[in-house]
Amino acid sequence: MAVLGFPTMKRQMRVRQENVMAILLFATVLFVLAPFAAAQPTFSTTTFLEAVRTKFGKPASCKHPTCICSIADESIAWRLLSEYGSIFVAADAVRVPSHCIFENEKQVTEFQSSSRSSSEIMSGVTIELQDEAMTALLNAQAEARRIGLRITPLDGSIAGKRSYSDTIRIWNSRYLRALDHWVRRGKISPEEAQTARNDAVLVQIRKVMDWESTGLNFGTNIKGSIFSSTAPPGTSQHLSMLAFDVVQYANRNIRAIMNKHGWYQTVANDPPHFTFLGLTEKELPSRGLKNIVKGNYKFWVPDLK
Ligand SMILES: [Zn+2]
């Protein structure tokens, strides 16, 4: 063993002291930052598509909206997911369809009859929702009542569950009226409109997307997009019994109470429409949702990168 000279020993002691100080400083930083690290969402990097793919148990290769949505037309798949897709990352306690569109009444009836649901009379109309969504809504209504407010259904029983034929009827109330309007304005030919009236749903969606991209709006009263006004037949969140349209949506306190009970506005430009996600607001980014503010309202929509 070499015998060290006194200056060398002093230098080594100083180096050891500096190392100890550095370790203590590092430990202090870790101690201070630990609570913040723990507060981060577990899946903060999860994208929306990945969250849906995982939830549906689809293979790792299924990363594209056409596969996630089970719709071959890429632009329709993107559009449906971006408009109405938030529902697909709802809490596991509720049931969501494994594709973006129900093709007929039979598919809707099968989904609805095999999901646990309950009905309540609200403002004189029957509202039916999945059990967890109904319990949360009743709790929200009770909380609102305690501060002298009400949460009531908009436009009768279609505020809750809808049938496939309901979604056709509501879509046609905009779609057919807008076709007539644009024919009168000379923007769409009578022959083209006649064909469009009888097209299959996916073809109607494709054509409306094309027309609206040129400024021919199909929304309520020919204002805005039809996709913010009503979902195309078979694509409405109301079919899943996880949506509820609220009369008092403009009241900030009502929105806060709905949010607290897992109900969020998820369709941009449709503020009366709330979706039951059954999650806390802090959990939503971890499911691939982002919030956007339009008007006075905050919408939780898919973060489609
Ligand atoms: Zn709605």
Q: What is the pLDDT of residue 298?
A: 97
Query: If 0-12 CB within 10 Å is exposed, 13-18 middle and 19+ buried, where does residue 60 land?
Result: exposed
What's the chain's Rg over C-alpha atoms? 26
Distance from residue 77's CA to the centre of ligand 1 (Å) = 20
- Spatial CA neighbour of 238 closest among 104, 154, 128: 128
Report the separation in Å between the CA atom of 272 and the middle of ligand 1, taken as the mean of its atom positions: 7
The confidence score (pLDDT) of residue 238 equals 98
- Residue 63 φ/ψ, nearest 5 degrees: -115, -10
Cα 52 from Cα 10, distance rounded (Å):
62
Alpha carbon of 29 to ligand 1 centroid (Å): 48
How many Å lie between the centroid of ligand 1 and the Cα of residue 102? 17
Record the pTM.
0.83
**CB-neighbour burial class of residue 159 (10 A; exposed 0-12, middle 13-18, buried 19+):** buried
Q: How far is the CA of 275 from the centre of ligand 1 (A)?
A: 8
Provide the percentage of residues in the chain whose pLDDT is more than 90. 78
pLDDT reported for residue 18: 58
Q: Which of 173, 185, 178, 184 is nearest to 222 (CA)?
A: 178
155 Cα to the center of ligand 1, angstroms: 10
d(CA 170, CA 233): 8
Residue 13 has pLDDT above 60, yes or no: no
**Of the spans 55-64, 67-76, 128-137, 221-230, which averages the highest pLDDT?**
128-137
Distances from the Cα of 27 to the Cα of 16, 30, 32, 133, angstroms: 16, 5, 9, 46
Report the distance separating Cα 140 and Cα 259, nearest Å: 9
| Predicted confidence (pLDDT) per residue in 157-171, tens digit | 999 999 999 999 999
- Beta strands (DSSP E) in 41-193 are 117-122, 125-130
Average pLDDT score, the chain: 88
Q: How far is the CA of 244 from the centre of ligand 1 (A)?
A: 6
Distance 271 CA to ligand 1 centre (A): 9
Task: Give 240-268 pLDDT, tens digit per residue.
Answer: 999 999 999 999 999 999 999 999 999 99
Distance from Cα 280 to the centre of ligand 1, integer Å: 21
